[in-house]
Amino acid sequence: MDKYKAIPEGYMTVGQLAKKMGITVRALHHYDKQGLLSPSGESEGGYRLYSDKDIVILHQILAMKHLGFSLEDIKTHLVSLDTPNDVAKALAEHAAAIRSKLESLTNTLVAVEVLKEEVMRMQSVDFKKYADIVAQLQMKHEHYWTIKHFDSDVLDGIRSKVAYSPDGFAGIFEPLRKLQLEAIDMHEAGIAPDSEKGQDLASRLWGEIQKITGGDAEMLAKFEESLTKMGEDEEGLATMDEAEKEKLMIASDYMHQVLVIYLAKNEGGN
Amino acid sequence: MDKYKAIPEGYMTVGQLAKKMGITVRALHHYDKQGLLSPSGESEGGYRLYSDKDIVILHQILAMKHLGFSLEDIKTHLVSLDTPNDVAKALAEHAAAIRSKLESLTNTLVAVEVLKEEVMRMQSVDFKKYADIVAQLQMKHEHYWTIKHFDSDVLDGIRSKVAYSPDGFAGIFEPLRKLQLEAIDMHEAGIAPDSEKGQDLASRLWGEIQKITGGDAEMLAKFEESLTKMGEDEEGLATMDEAEKEKLMIASDYMHQVLVIYLAKNEGGN
DNA sequence: TATTGACCCTAACCTTACGTCATGGTTTAT
DNA sequence: ATAAACCATGACGTAAGGTTAGGGTCAATA
């Protein structure tokens, strides 16, 4: 009655294990070759024989895969023999990652539906709108104080970039945000804007600005302007607490100083 | 002041377009070679020159890509010259797909958090639990009346499969659900269970059952039993309306008849 | 015991959407 | 004219297996 039974004691072949776990034989072969799961037994003819111990490991592999880990990451985790606390920490981190994915997927959903409405209402298709919608949804996040006071022309000009870049908004503005934080640190450390470190910051900052504006002259000018007038806008600042506001102003001020010197020195070059 | 300007009238080179849209030059090359977007101009030296018309197309490409379409699908849509209504329909379909992804991602999130709690509480790691949690979340859906009355041992035995199969629950039970619908149709058409068509259904049904149970004898028996006693369970049926209940019973009955004959004929074989 | 059918082995090429060189030509500023 | 910055084509690489191909192995049957 039972086709699979006479195979060695307590062992399963690839096919049996695959069926049981809902994966393919090829996947098991792959995991073996990649060193993720080598069966603990072998038949005389060279068949892979998996034991219960192997199944436990396979469960871990599949669970982590379901969580979005790459096989390579899974492998290192398997070797690292982590304690329950480590596991809990990793799970918590992953939960956060999933949450942000959920958020961006939700944005996408909204964008699709808004676009659909547009298409039906206007009886015409304009996919450029899609980028605008996606970008605007992403820019709404209060979290990104980085750009609160940018000229709206600048923001308009980069919508496509924000929408289509692999990591969306963050992918574009995260580097800039880091530079802002650096600027604050340097200000607090009393590093002079015309010092080597200050000018190094300026150089990287200018590079980022170029990247973001795409070298477009008009946008470049407006972008610069936006940087220097950060903090003047009362309305936008209303939602921030004092500490944050303070930081923003310091960063803005320091970046401005540093840039002015940098650009004066490198007028023609670069 | 503007580095890029002396290039032909109203044309951009790859690099300029790439910067503007936040993608890479390589991607544009790729789209060209795949026949998705060939620039409408060319310089004497063989440079690709993109016009505004090309940008419109690129917007469509990038938007659809963001929505999760493959380049190949995008290509067919681009040539199909769809009307606004077609576009709206496609968008609606995609919205549904996104919703189901959202749902499964939400499940994943819950599973991760529950598992984390478990790990912290028990101070031990058991990844098998993960599959159980994920599977149970998926099985909660009322929608799947297919399996409402299955023996709980059967359900226990396939949790890993449900959790890890690429399309989750649906990936495993969708074929079975289709067979149920077929059974109803055949019953209504008055096709005899021992006719050729009836036995064809039986054969496919048996195949599915084998796939789901993985050929395990014990589970196979229970699965069969579950099929035949569908509809007896009052509690589970309470949430269905009459029409659905009726259908379920018809399907269950017809499938049973068909299977009994099939198994009697193919006792030893197969 | 020999055969059969279901299963297993390894090897090797295929897939997506580009990233990343390598090599060499083009444009434009100086 | 020459360099800097851009562009072209070509070819190989990636992740996680899918998919043949060619050929052994296992367990049951004749």
CA distance A90 to A76: 13
| pTM for the structure as a whole | 0.82
**A184/B contact by beta carbon, under 8 A:** no
**B2/A contact by beta carbon, under 8 A:** yes
Distance in angstroms: CA B136, C1' D13: 40
Closest nucleotide over all strands to A16 (CA to C1'): C7
CA distance A190 to A228: 20
- Domains in chain A (CATH in brackets) are 14-69 (1.10.1660.10), 143-265 (no CATH)
Per-residue pLDDT of chain A (270 residues; tens, 9 = 90+): 334 445 667 899 999 999 999 999 999 999 999 999 999 999 999 999 999 999 999 999 999 999 889 999 999 988 887 788 888 888 888 888 888 888 888 888 998 999 999 999 999 888 999 998 888 888 776 455 556 667 777 777 888 888 888 777 777 888 888 888 999 999 999 999 999 999 999 888 888 888 888 777 777 777 777 766 655 555 555 566 777 778 878 888 898 889 888 888 775 444
Residue A237's alpha-carbon distances to A58, A142, A150, A208, A226, in angstroms, are 52, 11, 12, 24, 14
CA distance B258 to B187: 11
**Residue in B59, B129, B155, B216 to test binding to A, most A beta-carbons within 10 Å:** B59
The model's pLDDT over B55-94, given as tens digits with 9 standing for 90+, comes to: 999 999 999 999 889 999 999 989 887 788 888 888 898 8
**A99/B contact by beta carbon, under 8 A:** yes
The model's pLDDT over B204-217, given as tens digits with 9 standing for 90+, comes to: 888 888 888 876 77
Nearest CA in chain A to B94: A112
CB atoms near residue A29 (< 10 Å): 13
Structural contact between residues B160 and B131, judged by C-beta atoms closer than 8 angstroms: yes
Distance in angstroms: CA A216, C1' D15: 37
